Amino acid sequence: MRLVLATSNPGKVRELKKGLAPLGWTLLSLADFPLRMPKEEGATFLENALLKAAYVAKATGLPALADDSGLVVPALGGEPGVYSARYGGRETDKERNVYLLERMRHLKGEERKARFVAVLVLAYPDGHVEAYEGQVEGYILEAPRGEGGFGYDPLFYVPEAGKTFAEMTLEEKARYSHRGQAIKALLKAYEQGPPPREISQLE
Ligand SMILES: Nc1ncnc2c1ncn2[C@H]1C[C@H](O)[C@@H](COP(=O)(O)OP(=O)(O)OP(=O)(O)O)O1
Ligand SMILES: [Mg+2]
């Protein structure tokens, strides 16, 4: 199967290519199909992922996989959530990390609990769609640690691993991360080939 990765984020492309390799599919990207992507105006990660995947599947005539993901801090009322990529109007990952730390300056201990959510939507040109989700819980540190990953990874500490996502190798991050979990769910669904549509269809 030929699949288009419907993301412009190089960090996601890296993780998706590595994670989906066992499927043996040919993975194309938006570099192969220069499209103007739709605005991500959905209220949820699922809506945004659906928007992106369905648009690319229709535009290319090939199945497309989109990832919408973000960080959720309950003590901030769920921020940055679906605004993760443009939090505080800041333009770079580094600036967004600084902004998040400012917003959380007054929060201590369990109040620094956070989760990362990833929703993968696989859309087919005939309109069929499937969604796979992953989540991971952790804590927002008071200063960044590590050079790997992208986005909020240097601030996101995973207690089970004793490190931040930015301190992990690609393999390690895949084991713990929200995106790693979502990819695992997709791999499982496709273990014996495409899953039956009646049970994989979204309501
Ligand atoms: N221009 C924007 N303004 C406000 N929020 C945005 C904007 N773009 C994305 N978001 C939101 C939607 C998502 O839920 C969240 C995380 O962005 P996301 O789209 O997953 O990452 P990304 O834009 O780096 O990769 P992708 O190319 O896959 O869309 O931020
Ligand atoms: Mg986006």
pLDDT of residue 53: 98
Cβ–Cβ contacts within 10 Å for residue 2, how many? 11
* 173 inside domain: yes
pLDDT of residue 92: 98
Domain count for the chain: 1
pLDDT of residue 4: 98
Q: What is the 3-state secondary structure (H, E, C) of the chain?
A: CEEEECCCCHHHHHHHHHHHHHHCCEEEECCCCCCCCCCCCCCCHHHHHHHHHHHHHHHHCCCEEEEEEEEEEHHHCCEEHHHHHHHHHCCCHHHHHHHHHHHCCCCCHHHHEEEEEEEEEEECCCCCEEEEEEEEEEEECCCCCCCCCCCCHHHEEECCCCEEHHHCCHHHHHHHCHHHHHHHHHHHHCCCCCCCHHHHCCC
pLDDT of residue 127: 95
* 163 inside domain: yes
pLDDT of residue 202: 57
Asked if 200 and 189 count as a contact pair (C-beta separation under 8 A), the reply is: yes
pLDDT of residue 199: 58
- The answer to whether residue 126 is catalytic is no
Mutate to test the pocket of ligand 1, among 86, 96, 135 (most ligand atoms within 8 A of CB): 86
Q: Cα of 80 to ligand 2 centre, how many Å?
A: 14
* 100 inside domain: yes
Q: What is the ipTM of this complex?
A: 0.88
Mutate to test the pocket of ligand 1, among 55, 79, 84 (most ligand atoms within 8 A of CB): 84
Domain range enclosing 56: 2-189
Ligand 1 atom nearest residue 68's Cα:
20
* 199 inside domain: no
* 138 inside domain: yes
* 194 inside domain: no
Distances (CA, A) of 190 to 4, 11, 51, 185: 17, 24, 22, 9
Pocket of ligand 1 (CB under 6 A): 7-9, 12, 40, 45, 48, 67-70, 82-86
pLDDT of residue 105: 98
Q: List the CATH number of the domain containing 135.
A: 3.90.950.10
Distances (CA, A) of 121 to 2, 17, 134, 144: 15, 15, 12, 30
Ligand 1 atom nearest residue 11's Cα:
24
Q: Which of 32, 67, 68, 126 is catalytic?
A: 68
67 annotated binding-site participant: no
Q: How far apart are alpha carbons 116 and 153 in whole angstroms? A: 10
Counting as low any pLDDT under 50, the low residues of the chain are none
Closest CA to 136 of 180, 74, 103: 180
138 annotated binding-site participant: no
